[in-house]
Structure 1
Amino acid sequence: MGDAPRPRLGILLCLLSMLLFASQDGITKVLVKDLPVAQLVMVRYWVFLAFAVGYSLYRGHLGAACRSHHPVLQVIRALLGVGESALFGLGLRYLGMAEMHALYAVFPLMTLALAGAFLGEFIGVRRWIAAAIGFLGTLVILRPGTGVFELAALIPLLSALGFAVFSVLTRRISRDDSFATNMLYMGFFGALAITFSGLPGWVTPNPTQWGLIAVLSTIGMVAQLLLLQALKYATAGTLQPFNYTLLVFATFIGLLVFGELPDPWTVVGACMVIAGGLYAIKAKG
């Protein structure tokens, strides 16, 4: 028997997960000032791989989890995942937390469009309207042609696009491969790829930085587990609107820790992106 539906508990776990993800990004923003992004991503991926192996051993299916029906797509997905993580970390070096997350929040709408194009999922007029609203919100944040546009603002958009493609590949692969297989391939090939760029530029962290790296790696895994647990008690559709609290938490952390106050255009644009995302969730046709 599965876990009984408990939507309130699922929502609470989802909110805690979003808070931890925002805290993870705050710690990353502190560390990327002095340490290479590739090095931080490399450490996180080796920790993730250790967790993936441990999970598969715990479930007693390590051998089976190593076999995939889509090995090439799994490798591509892993490379996209590690590239998206590196881009996001790089963006935190140049942009504020609120601006970074406001632009990145467009990824569900990108996923919607890509799923329609490559997976044949029905989109419908209302969801295209939702995507248009989100796109306009992104333009409000970027304000191209006004003299305030930064090339660095393209980093979260590229990261969002990478994660959208990653999400579509995950949907396709998950039809045939297990959760454990997805984790193992992502952890192994992601760690292998990032190690080639992470090790050559290694900068030895000081004790404080080592402590932050340990916290960073730990809360990232805890956040993932909380989100998975939340899905046991509430449906993805129920939880999806609460995923946008990540932007709220990130904005507060940016304000309290880094003294970053988002400008009115970023706030308005972020509201439009969120509104487009929420409308897409509710829209049926």
Structure 2
Amino acid sequence: MLVFASQDAITKVLVQEFAVAQFIMLRYWLFLLFALGYAHLRGGIAMAARTQHPWLQLLRSLLSVGEIAIFSLGLRYLGLAESHALFAVFPLLAMALAGAVLGEFIGLRRWLAAAVGFAGTLVILRPGQGLFELAALIPLSAALAFAVYNLVTRLVSREDGFTTNMLYMAAVGAVVSTVFGLQAWQPPSPGEWGLMGVLSVSGIFAHLLLVKALEYAPAGVLQPFNYSLLIFAMLIGLVVFGDFPDTWTLVGAALVVAGGCYAIGAPKLTNSSAV
């Protein structure tokens, strides 16, 4: 989570000077090279390219690159803490969508947790108080895209493996980002090349750490640690950019995190279970 937060700080610097598509294109091409190498070691690229859900793989890959692009754009207008405070609602959105689309039983406690998280989002946005910024809708849109991405990933993962999922995400992301990245290309300085390189390599490193963590602990145990990203974002935003969220943003973020952790800790219920 610290690496992810650091990535967003670099993105916030780059997005002030460059089109989002430019550095996302570099990220995805390096990611594609890694995915091809990984697939080669795991049984071959041809085998990894076999999928039972080609259209769903295309959809989830588009959602992935779209979410990254939308969130990166939001960093141009909002601070790290504000962006992550709003984005932190995505697990609750994913839970609600799983109930509505996949028919998964959610239970009253998880719906209550979603309501608490939604209340926290309203506290951050403060509609009707003259403080609402349209830019706040950008990280919320990214959160929705990421929630749908998680939903589609859950569907395809029933038959497609990790290597296949990674290969399609890298390949589709590289193609789509290149279409827009080449049109917006402007030559970076040596220092900016360095930042783009760090951004690309650290993205792969962070995902490898996440995969390694999942080898040692169940996803349910690790999920609450995702909220440490918000803490790291606040600290980096303060140290690097001199930004610190106001009191209402802190209160709203606390509600979002509390709702998310409560939803994660709530037991899975059946229709015959006591609430």
State the partner residue of 1:259: 242
Deviation per residue, 1:150-175 (Å, 9 max, x gap): 00000000000000000000000000
For 2:224 and 2:187, the matched residues in 1 are separated by 40
Offset, 1:62: 1.4
Which residue number in structure 2 is paired with residue 188 of structure 1?
A: 171
Paired amino acid for 2:247: P
Q: Does structure 1 residue 105 correspond to structure 2 residue 95? A: no
- The alignment-based identity, stated in percent, is 63
Where does residue 83 of structure 1 map in the other structure?
Answer: 66
- The CA deviation string for residues 97-136 of structure 1, in whole angstroms up to 9 with x for no partner, is 0000000000000000111111221100000000000000
Tell me the TM-score normalized by structure 1.
0.93
* Alignment RMSD (CA, Å): 0.7
- Aligned with residue 130 of structure 1, among 113, 132, 141: 113
Distance 1:187 1:40 in 2: 15
Quote the residue 1:229 is aligned against. 212
Distance 2:256 2:15 in 1: 27
Aligned with 2:141 (options 125, 146, 158): 158
Residue matched to 2:129: 146
> What amino acid is aligned across from residue 165 of structure 2 in structure 1?
N
Which whole-Å CA distance do the structure 2 matches of 1:251 and 1:262 have between them? 8
1:209 aligns with 2:209: no
CA distance in 2, matches of 1:257, 1:82: 26
Q: Classify the secondary structure of the residue corresponding to 1:94.
A: coil
Superposition map of 1:64-79 within 5 A: 64-79=47-62
* Structure 2 counterpart of 1:23: 6
Amino acid across the alignment from 1:227: L
Q: How far has the Cα of 1:60 moved from its partner?
A: 2.3
For residue 103 of structure 2, give the secondary structure of its aligned residue in structure 1: coil
Moved over 6 A (4+): none
Q: TM-score, normalised by structure 2?
A: 0.96
AA in 1 matched with 2:27: R
Matched residue type, 1:270: A
Aligned length: 268
For residue 48 of structure 1, the aligned residue among 31, 37, 49 is 31
Equivalent-residue separation in structure 2 for 1:137 and 1:85 (angstroms): 23
Question: Which residue in the other structure is 2:253 paired with?
Answer: 270
Q: How many Å apart are 1:59 and its aligned residue?
A: 1.4
Q: CA separation in 2, counterparts of 1:214 and 1:186?
A: 20
Write the distance in 2 (CA, Å) between the matches of 1:98 and 1:262.
6
**For structure 2, which runs of at least 5 residues remain unmatched after alignment?**
270-275
Residue identity matched to 1:179 = F
**1:203 positional shift:** 1.1
CA distance in 2, matches of 1:204, 1:116: 47
Distance (Å, rounded) in 1 between the aligned partners of 2:241 and 2:235: 10
Residues of 2 paired with 1:81 and 1:210: CA distance?
Answer: 24
User: Whole-Å Cα distance in 2 between the matches of residues 193 and 217 of structure 1?
Assistant: 17
The one-letter amino acid paired with 1:277 is: G
